[in-house]
Amino acid sequence: MDEAYTPIIIQFQCTDYIYSDILLVNNGKLGFVKLCLEQFDADGAKAAWRTSIDLKPSAWAWRNLAVLAHLQSNEAEALACLQRAWDLNRHTLELAQEYLQALCHTRRFDEARSVYDSLPVAMQGNDRIQILHGRIELELNNLEAVEQVMACEYAVVREGETELTDIWFEMWYRRMAEASQRTLDENEKAEIRKLYPSPALIDFRSIAK
């Protein structure tokens, strides 16, 4: 399966100096406050974003709280915060991608499909959203939909990424397991990989694969 939920828009890292724009509300006016922290103050950041939300709910404050929860390995809280962010902003592609990633990571595939189905057609057609759609349909065992996703070319995929080939082979494992009415062993899976190699247009594994 693809990497776990990974924040896209802002990548926080615990370095010596961290600069971040945080949306705050002051007397009803929105403004950006530039922060420079010698050490990342997680508690202080959380309190600031919570205060911001109390004054005026913001998708980005909720989204930043999700990033913080993710960094603290609290995936349930991260997902809850992303859901609040999504409820406030359903038109930003990157937020849709993060929310779908989080739903997939926590194996809430029915919910992920509902979110995908609610997206505008243009947003659904985004490469990363389509790859997530392939994972969602695979886990819901809709293999015809998976095959449609596998028939496309994805310009955003970097060399070394394996999600597309992982989905491709898992699709064939499931087909063969269903046909034989039994669980496949590793030797059988290896044989399937030989019989049904991944198409070149979705195979971005390294040369040393």
Is 200 in a helix, a strand, or coil?
A: helix
Q: Which domain holds residue 143?
A: 130-209
From 47, 74, 106, the end of a domain falls on: 106
Instruction: Tell whether 19 is covered by a domain.
Output: yes
Given this model, what pLDDT does residue 46 score?
Answer: 83
Q: With 70 as the cut, is the pLDDT of residue 100 above it? A: yes
Are 17 and 52 found together in one domain? yes
| DSSP H stretches of helix in the chain | 42-55, 59-71, 75-88, 93-105, 109-118, 121-124, 127-139, 143-150, 163-180, 186-195
Same domain, 22 and 98: yes
Structure tokens at 12: 């926080």
Q: What is the pLDDT of residue 31?
A: 38
Say if 122 falls within a structural domain: no
Mean residue pLDDT of the chain comes to 83
Residue 110 CB contacts under 8 Å (≥ 6 apart), including other chains: 140
Instruction: Write the DSSP string, 150-166.
Output: HTS--TTPPTT--HHHH
Q: Two tokens at 138?
A: 């695979």
What pLDDT does 22 receive? 40
Which residues pair with residue 29 across a beta bridge? 26
Distance CA 159, CA 131 (A): 15
Domain boundary among 106, 121, 148: 106
**189 and 180 in contact (C-beta within 8 Å)?**
no
Query: pTM above the 0.75 mark?
Result: yes
Maximum average pLDDT range among 24-33, 45-54, 61-70, 198-207: 61-70
pLDDT (average), residues 32-57: 70
Cα distance between residue 185 and residue 182, in whole Å: 9
Residues 179, 147 share a domain: yes
Average pLDDT over every residue of 38-58: 80
